[in-house]
Homo-oligomer: A and B are copies of this chain.
Amino acid sequence: MPDGVPKKPSRIQMRNRRVILDAALNVFSQHGYRGATLDQIAAEAGLSKPNILYYFQGKEQIHLTLLSQLMETWLDPLVELDADGDPKTEILDYVQRKLDMARDLPRESRLFAGEILQGAPRIGPRLESDLKPLFDQKCAVIAGWVKAGKIADIDPQHLIFSIWATTQHYADFEAQVTVLLGNATGSNDTASQHLRVMFGKMLCVNN
């Protein structure tokens, strides 16, 4: 059986892979792909550099692994958008899920933002193969709601862009947001409330 079953990873392999990926997520999300170094990742993971390269083929593979894992998580909230649900509720719930994700997974949000910002040099293909089909499908769903007069006449594509932009903003531009809000108050769900009002009014059929 010269190449058949990849052999299941040992406990120690599982643990160290997780530790390395978590450390790499910290470093990559903060410094970008080129700004991150294997030494930093190794230090953060509490392992030696050669030991890291025992678990991953190289720097690029670590980055790619992170992006791949992230892609699934990233699409989840949109997958859940249900064509058979109440249109306004479905969209507002989607906004909330996206905002929750930016809150709970800011490192992932920044990792993704950094990759796209640089022209998606590594994840580009998966945008086409994974993201675009889902995007087109959900745009069609929303277009159906518009045509049926269930929500206001709005361009589905740009609606989704606006949802992404406004929700991810709180993770990706956190440094700026923190400065401007004075980060004193528990302004946590002020954003949630604002976005709920904003998209709520936008979808309203009257006026």
Contact = CB atoms under 8 A, between A and B. Distances in A.
Interface in A129-184: 131-132, 135, 152, 154-155, 157-159, 161-162, 164-166, 168-170, 172-173, 175-177, 179-181
Given A165-B165, A201-B202, A201-B207, A127 B35 contact: no
Interface size class of A (residues with CB under 8 A): 35 or more
B32 A32 contact: yes
Contacts of A166: 161-162, 165-166
Contacts of A207: 201, 204, 206-207
Interface stretch (A15-23, A43-51, A117-125): A117-125
Number of this chain's copies in the assembly equals: 2
A201 B152 contact: yes
A115 B81 CA distance: 33
- Interface of chain A, helix or strand or loop or mixed? helix
Contact of A120 (B175, B193, B194): B175
Given A30-B118, A155-B194, A158-B191, A132 B35 contact: no
Contact of A201 (B128, B157, B191, B201): B201
13 contacts: A30-B119, A31-B118, A32-B35, A117-B173, A128-B179, A135-B180, A154-B197, A157-B180, A165-B168, A166-B166, A202-B202, A204-B207, A206-B207
